[in-house]
Structures are given as structure tokens and as C-alpha cells.
Amino acid sequence: MSSETGPHEDVPDDHNLPEQGHPQGREPGEGSVSLPEQDPFANPGLPAHQHRVQDVDEAAAKRSERTVAMLFTLSMLATVGFIASFVAFPADKIVYIWPAGHISALNFSLGMTLGIALLGIGAGAVHWARTLMTDTELIQERHSISAEPEVRAQVIEEFKQGATESQFGRRRLVRNTLYGAMALLPLSGVVLLRDLGPLPEDKLRKTAWKKGKVLVNENTGLKLKPEDITVGSLAFAKPEGLDHGEHGWANEIAKAALMLVRIEPADIKDKQSLDWSHEGILAYSKICTHIGCAVSLYEQQTHHVLCPCHQSTFDLADGARVLFGPAGHPLPQLKISVNKDGFLEAQGDFAEPVGPAFWERG
Ligand code: FES
């Protein structure tokens, strides 16, 4: 790393560059650009080479040398500090360091010292390369990558000769069966897609709700009557008979999860919602139409319900219309009424698939 001999002694002068190394449009040693008027795409060449201050001033080169040495020394000290930290700090010692707050003294010191050690080596190497290593400009000549016309003609000739010798054109049976084999081969990949699992069929479109299914409280399992749902309250329901432990229960309850609210009929703005309600009791899917979180934060004054995942907000008094957030569709509503025993029951399944709106478009 010594610079005793003075880097400027080895500095190449662009006057010494071989003449063929200079791009077109520029005379050797000349900084100006010469553009032929008739050729707008002429190579503008390189600007005149500027010597670095270290190349012409030995004192500046010495300063750069000292800077590089200082950075490498800093790295050495940091490495020593790393080892000392490892020995000195117990693993459970916590210190307060602004702005990080209370953190492990060992982790902090190991991270800082290792970071400084690496930074010192990196910064020293970069400074060395930029200020002291050779500054010779090299020009790489490039040639057209297109083949010569004779080469192309030869390739075409060889291709034709190969086709003739293989009898590809003459043996039609071979040729046509090869076409067939190559056309069918990709089908094996398509067939493998079938191995991704059973087809969903209509499982994503249908839920456990159907005409006559009684609504039961999701927590108590008790059948719900209209008087159980008071104005301002939010209740969750599931279809009667859908019990824990049954095969596929988790999937079914995920699709059929229901949210019940009671709103004064005069406050219900959407006519279909009013028609599908019972005395102001509205039953909506609890599954957000964005990506399927459970919608559960109800604001009784405004009748808005909020999805906690990405803050989609639905207006339950207006057909569960989306007021805010990424959900693309209203929450599906379940048409309900009261059976002869006075319990709330469904009048069928949801009119559209529940959950993420993708399935609605499928
Ligand atoms: S899942 Fe409800 S807003 Fe994203």
C-alpha cells in the first residue's frame, strides 16, 4: 500500500493511449467533441481525461493514504471492541440508549462494533480504489454480433441439408406423428393440475342455510326469537344443527356465520333489505367481502359495522353498502322470517356467495 514512489509517476497520459483506442469523432488528446453534421448518431467520444488531484500532487496522495489507513485501523479497533463487548457484557444487561430505548447492552455493542468493523474495511477499500489505484481509461472495442452473410447462408444450407438427410419432408408418417406427440405432451402438465385437490364444485357458492333453518345463538346454541334481538344490539347466529365436532364443521360455520342487528324499520333505507328483514331484524353474513375476516365492530348510532382487518365499513341500514375500505361488495343478506313456533328462520340461502368478492364473479 506504499505510495513512496509517487502515484503520479505511473499515471498514464491520454496522449500515450494507442491511436486506435480513441473513438471516432475525437482526435487523440482532444477534449472537444466532433459531430459530423450529416450523422446525428455519430459516436460523441469521451470527454478529456481529468487527472485526479492525487495523481498530480504527492501530498494529496499521502493524505488519501492516511485516510485509508485510518479507516482500516478503525475497523481493527472495532473488531477488538466486538470481542471485548462479548466478554464484558452479560446477556441480560439492559441499557437505555436514545432513541432506541431500553435494549440489550450486549446486542447493541456487538451490532455496533461489527457494523463499524465492516464499514471501515469497505469505506477504506472504496477510498483506496477511487484515489490511489490506477486511473487508466480502457476502451473495449465491440463488434457487430450479427453473422456475416456467408455464415448465415451456410447455416441455412446446413439446415436444409439436415432436413433432407433426416427425410423429415419425405416421411410424412414420421413427421405427422411427431407433430401429434409434441402437441399432446403439454397435456400431461394440464392433467397434473387436477392433482391439486378435489374440485370445489358448489361448496363456495352454497352455505348451510336453507329454507326453514332456524337461527340459533352462536354462543349459547339456543334458538333465537325476535325479542332476543333488541334495537342497538349485535348478535351472532348459526344454523340449527351445525355443531362442533361434526365433519366439515369449521368450513360450514365459516361460510354460514351470521350477524343480526335490529334497526327501526323507518331507518332502513334499502327496500330489499327491509323486505328481507323481520320487524327490522336484519341478518347479514359476518364474513367480510374483502378477504374474509369476521366483521364485528358495530356502531349502533350510525348502523355502521367495521371490519377490524382493513377497516372496510358497511352500512347495515342501507343493504350493507360499502362506505369505506377495500371491500368491493356489500355483505350478503339472508332473508329471514318467523316460523309457527315463533323462532327466527331462514327463507333460503344467501343470494350470492359469501366472503371475498372474487367468488361472486366466478
Ligand atoms: S378483510 Fe375486511 S377489510 Fe380486509
Atom of ligand 1 at shortest range from CA of 326: 3
77-91, 182-196, 342-356: the lowest-pLDDT one: 182-196
Res 80: pLDDT: 97
Question: Beta strand 333-334 with 304-306: parallel, antiparallel or unpaired?
Answer: unpaired
11-15, 94-98, 145-149: the lowest-pLDDT one: 11-15
Q: How confident is the model at residue 358 (pLDDT cuts 50, 70, 90)?
A: low
Atom of ligand 1 at shortest range from CA of 311: 3
Other Cβ atoms closer than 10 A to 277:
23
Q: Please tell me which residue, 163 or 82, carries the higher pLDDT value.
A: 82
Which positions ≥6 away from 141 have C-beta within 8 Å? none
CATH 2.102.10.10 in the chain, residues? 215-361
| CA–CA dist 115, 109 (Å, integer) | 10
How many angstroms separate the alpha carbon of residue 296 from the centre of ligand 1? Answer: 11
Tell me, using a 6 A CB cutoff, whether residue 278 lines ligand 1: no
Q: Which three cell numbers stand for residue 80?
A: 477488538
How many angstroms separate the alpha carbon of residue 289 from the centre of ligand 1? Answer: 7
Q: What is the mean pLDDT of the chain?
A: 85
Q: Which of 309, 313, 323 to mutate to test the pocket of ligand 1 (most atoms within 8 A of CB)?
A: 309
Res 170: pLDDT: 87
Q: Over 60: is that where the pLDDT of 342 sits?
A: yes
Tell me, using a 6 A CB cutoff, whether residue 307 lines ligand 1: yes
Report the share of the chain in percent with pLDDT over 70.
87
Q: How confident is the model at residue 210 (pLDDT cuts 50, 70, 90)?
A: very high
Res 109: pLDDT: 94
Other Cβ atoms closer than 10 A to 268:
20
pLDDT in tens, 221-239: 899 999 999 998 899 999 9
Tell me, using a 6 A CB cutoff, whether residue 357 lines ligand 1: no
How many angstroms separate the alpha carbon of residue 357 from the centre of ligand 1? Answer: 11
How many angstroms separate the alpha carbon of residue 50 from the centre of ligand 1? Answer: 60
Q: Please tell me which residue, 244 or 32, carries the higher pLDDT value.
A: 244
Indicate the CATH number for domain 215-361.
2.102.10.10
Q: Over 50: is that where the pLDDT of 46 sits?
A: yes
